[in-house]
């Protein structure tokens, strides 16, 4: 990953996690402290929580940070400085929610809701969902431009790259997903057409930031409202999905799964991250339940998580199935998770429990 590759102190990545702690979209002092603690605790690369791009339709949750107001840009500069002090790199995750508007988002009825097709998001019940407006070609080009501006703002701010959020059923994934994309134009129908919006976003970001500034692309099979959904069913389809993204300028793929060790496709033990690495020949970030017994979909269940060792992860690394490993929930509860895991002090880890989401820092 050139700069990211050479400069990373290890393969540990903090996964992007929305915390809804930035009133007015501004990452304040507490946010700098939150990320700095994880950097100090040994994380090599931080991917920030989702950051709204500059379009009135992009946000869907309360107190999400942005990357365009002067106050937010100043806030990010402080976050970057606090993280770099520990030799850790940091990239923002650029986010547009599409038709997902949380009932807790105060502006949900005040701001426009746009999506590939006018279909309520499958993750929201009928009374909570908002029927989105189908994006016109002008909406599409305006939103692509907003991604590119955000990418340039990230570069000018001093970030070490960007991640484009193409996962979990948000806008870009709504174009990929046949349940939310019923378009009849060049952005709908075949897999090639459904990937087109994402490739145009990547290409516009690449043009904005030039070569050498890293672009990470996150995608997933699972979606909010569809934990067992499949975007691609075979390695051949995966190749058809990845190739245009590679051609558009993706440097690194972040393969979001619920359990990192699960086989990507039946008939082979290779993980989805392993398949992506094999097919794309690009560096790959693996993620999903590293260090924990429960997975993301069990977040709101009563199931108690226990801390797990990383022997399986280390085996997959030696097999060449991934380059970097992202950790989400475990790092919320214990900023020293990396340090303790690397020095085999698993019993000293403060294990993630869902109520930990209520606290910050
Ligand atoms: C509180 C919370 C917020 C999250 N927010 C985001 C987000 O903004 N963007 C994203 O791509 N994934 C988000 N995720 C998913 C995580 O990045 C990660 O993929 C998931 O938690 C699985 O990793 P883990 O098992 O190590 O927690 C979030 C997860 C949690 C727990």
DSSP result, 239-303: HHHHHHHHHHT--EEEEE-SSTTSBSSTT---BHHHHHHHHH-S-EEEESSTTBSS-GGGTTSSP
Clarify whether 170 is annotated catalytic.
yes
Q: Please give the distance, rounded to the nearest whole angstrom, from the Cα atom of residue 16 to the centre of ligand 1.
A: 6
* C-alpha of 54 from chain center: 18
Alpha-carbon torsion (217, 60, 80, 349), positive or negative: negative
The span from the CA of 119 to the CA of 114, in Å, is 10
**Which of 12, 13, 16 best tests ligand 1's pocket when mutated (most atoms within 8 Å of CB)?**
16
Buried (b) or exposed (e) across 294-331, using 16+ Cβ within 10 A?
bbbebeeeeeebebbebeebeebbeeebbbbbbbbbbb
Is the predicted pLDDT of residue 27 greater than 90, yes or no? yes
Residue nearest to atom 25 of ligand 1 (CA): 289
**Which residue did the predictor score with more confidence, 50 or 6?**
50
**CA atoms of 320 and 274, how far apart (whole Å):** 7
Q: Which of 296, 326, 349 to mutate to test the pocket of ligand 1 (most atoms within 8 A of CB)?
A: 296
Q: What is the mean pLDDT of the chain?
A: 96
Index of the ligand 1 atom closest to the CA of residue 49: 8
User: Where does the chain have alpha helices with state H?
Assistant: 3-7, 29-40, 70-84, 137-157, 171-176, 191-209, 235-248, 272-280, 311-318, 329-333, 337-342
Domains of the chain: 3-358 (3.20.20.70)
Place of tokens 């930031």: 209
CA–CA dist 31, 72 (Å, integer): 11
- Cα 26 to its chain centre, rounded Å, is 19
3-state SS string for 11-28 = CEEECCCCCCCCHHHCCC
**Tens digits of residue pLDDT in 109-121:** 999 999 999 999 9
Rounded distance between C-alpha atoms, residue 38 and residue 41, angstroms: 5
Read off the pLDDT of residues 225-273 as tens digits, 9 standing for 90 and up.
Answer: 899 999 999 999 999 999 999 999 999 999 999 999 999 999 999 999 9
What pLDDT score does 301 carry?
86
Catalytic residue among 34, 35, 147, 170: 170
Ligand 1 center to residue 95 CA distance, Å?
Answer: 13
Helix (H, G, I), strand (E, B) or coil at 344: coil
Mutate to test the pocket of ligand 1, among 22, 61, 257, 329 (most ligand atoms within 8 A of CB): 329
- Is residue 350 classed as helix, strand or coil in its secondary structure? coil
Residues counted in the chain:
361
Which atom of ligand 1 is closest in space to residue 168's alpha carbon? Answer: 11
For residue 171, report the distance from its CA to the centre of ligand 1, in Å. 16
Q: Is the pLDDT of residue 2 over 70?
A: no
Give the tens place of pLDDT for each residue, 142-178: 999 999 999 999 999 999 999 999 999 999 999 999 9
Smallest CA separation from ligand 1 atom 15, residue: 17
Distance 17 CA to ligand 1 centre (A): 5
Alpha-carbon dihedral sign for residues 17, 160, 316, 262? positive
Ligand 1-lining residues (CB < 6 angstroms): 15-18, 49-50, 93, 165, 167-168, 218, 256, 287-290, 292, 296, 327-330, 357
């Amino acid at each position: 990953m050139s700069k990211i590759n050479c400069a990373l102190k290890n393969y540990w990545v903090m996964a992007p996690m929305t915390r809804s702690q930035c009133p007015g979209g501004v990452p304040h002092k507490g946010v700098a402290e939150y990320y700095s603690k994880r950097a100090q605790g040994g994380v090599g690369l931080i991917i920030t929580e989702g950051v709204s791009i500059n379009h009135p339709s992009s946000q869907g949750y309360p107190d999400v940070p942005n990357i365009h107001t002067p106050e937010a840009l100043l806030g990010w500069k402080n976050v970057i400085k606090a993280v770099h002090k520990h030799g850790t790199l940091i990239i923002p995750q650029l986010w547009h929610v599409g038709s997902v508007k949380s009932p807790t988002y105060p502006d949900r009825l005040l701001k426009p809701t746009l999506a590939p097709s006018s279909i309520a998001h499958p993750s929201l019940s009928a009374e909570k969902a908002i029927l989105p407006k189908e994006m016109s070609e002008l909406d599409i080009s305006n939103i692509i431009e907003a991604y590119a501006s955000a990418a340039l703002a990230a570069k000018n701010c001093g970030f070490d790259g960007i991640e484009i959020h193409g996962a979990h059923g948000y806008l870009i994934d709504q174009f990929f997903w046949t349940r939310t994309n019923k378009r009849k134009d060049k952005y709908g129908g075949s897999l090639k057409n459904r990937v087109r919006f994402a490739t145009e976003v990547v290409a516009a970001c690449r043009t904005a930031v030039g070569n050498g500034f890293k672009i990470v692309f996150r995608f997933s099979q699972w979606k909010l409202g569809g934990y067992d959904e499949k975007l691609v069913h075979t390695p051949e389809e995966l190749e058809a999905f990845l190739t245009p993204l590679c051609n558009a300028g993706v440097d690194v793929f972040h393969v979001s799964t619920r359990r990192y060790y699960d086989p990507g496709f039946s008939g082979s033990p290779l993980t989805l991250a392993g398949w992506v690495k094999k097919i794309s020949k690009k560096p790959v970030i693996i993620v999903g339940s590293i260090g924990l017994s429960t997975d993301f979909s069990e977040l709101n269940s009563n199931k108690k998580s226990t801390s797990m060792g990383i022997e399986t992860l280390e085996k997959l690394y030696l097999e060449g199935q991934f380059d970097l490993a992202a950790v989400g929930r475990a790092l919320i509860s214990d900023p020293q998770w990396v340090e303790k895991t690397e020095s085999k002090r698993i019993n000293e880890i403060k294990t993630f429990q869902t109520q930990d989401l209520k606290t910050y820092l």
